[in-house]
A and B are shown apart, each in its own frame.
Chain A
Amino acid sequence: MEVPILKQHHYLIATVQAALTDADLLHLRDALVQRVGKFRSRGVIVDVTALDVLDSFASRTLRDIAHMIRLRGADTVIVGIQPEVAFAMIQLGLNLEGVATALDLEEGLAFLDKQTESRAVQGRPA
């Protein structure tokens, strides 16, 4: 099932709505990396609230998404990892190292606002 990607101002919001196959995940990765350029987005939110399993492949793909988006000059935050899913991930030895996460969409937006603001300041010549 394809994940809808909404454009909201400078951000892209991908909301996962049902279980994803490996192919769906790769499609999401490619679509986000491409659209960040197309819409000149500064940040990406991937909302996984609806996911009841985040296995090794899903975790690795989310990490790839975040790192690829970073290389494209934007920030990514994963939001909505459920408590049981977090527990299973830790048991499996997965931790999404180096990937920003937030509790929910609201926190994710706040994180991106702060992140893009500080980057804009850093990027300005003295």
Chain B
Amino acid sequence: MVPPNGQPSDEILPRSSETPGSRLSPVPIRIETRSERDEIRVPIGSDLDIVKARQEGRRVAGNVGFSLTDLVLVATAISELARNIVRYARKGEIAIRPITNSAHNGIEIIARDEGPGIKDIEQVLQVGFSTSAGLGLGLPGVRRLMDEFEIQSKLGQGTTVITKKWKS
């Protein structure tokens, strides 16, 4: 390909001329993002794992640069989520990773289980102020501790809670 000024272009042959499967053909390159690389997954199956998950969460949140107050909020939220897994689903996992958006750094906590699921999500999110009352899931409390909170649950299939906290 020669541009109008007659100078030879640096451009190599257009891709369309390549034969399929040639070594120059574009291959999908999967670029691992920082967040994926830094994701920590803690399998949850006993009360020991609850302690482990909240310690990992505290460590990751510390690396993100959260204040001491926020570290405790994050660790407490993880503790509640992990305990729900042990109590209601017996086993599952907590995934913890640093996240970023255009303005802030933060942390995402995902609690996954394949337990019985939640029949009425609205109800468990409305259970009063006391976590010892009602169903005792403590999810309204977790929602207050974190900045973003999302829950997906299917009866008989399990529950996933996704929460985020942004560094102010």
Contacts and interface: CB of A to CB of B under 8 A. Distances in A.
Q: Does A pair with B? A: yes
Given A21-B48, A52-B75, A53-B72, A60 B132 contact: yes
A91 B145 contact: yes
Interface in B68-84: 68-69, 71-73, 75-76, 79-80, 83
A85 interface: yes
Nearest to A57: B83
A92 interface: yes
Interface stretch (B7-15, B20-28, B51-59): B51-59
Contacts of B47: 21-23
Interface in A51-77: 52-57, 60
A47 B140 CA distance: 28
B72 A85 contact: yes
A118 to B, nearest CB: 30
Nearest to B128: A93
Contacts, number: 74
Contacts of A23: 47
Contacts of B141: 56, 91-94
A53 B54 contact: yes
Contacts of A84: 68-69, 71-72
B50 interface: yes
B130 A88 contact: no
B contact face: mostly helix, strand, loop, or mixed: helix
A88 B83 contact: no
A39 interface: no
| A: contact size bracket | 20 to 34
Contacts of A93: 129-131, 140-141, 144
A91 B132 contact: no
Given A19-B51, A93-B144, A55 B79 contact: yes
Task: Please indicate which of the listed interface residues B72, B130, B131, B136 has the most CB atoms of chain A within 10 Å of its own CB.
Answer: B72
B92 interface: no
Nearest first, the 4 A-B pairs at minimum CB distance are: A92-B141, A22-B47, A55-B79, A84-B72
23 contacts: A19-B54, A21-B47, A21-B48, A52-B58, A52-B72, A52-B75, A56-B131, A56-B132, A56-B138, A57-B79, A84-B72, A87-B73, A88-B73, A89-B76, A91-B73, A91-B141, A92-B80, A92-B131, A92-B144, A93-B129, A93-B130, A93-B144, A94-B131
Interface of B: 47-48, 50-51, 54-55, 58, 68-69, 71-73, 75-76, 79-80, 83, 129-132, 136, 138, 140-142, 144-145
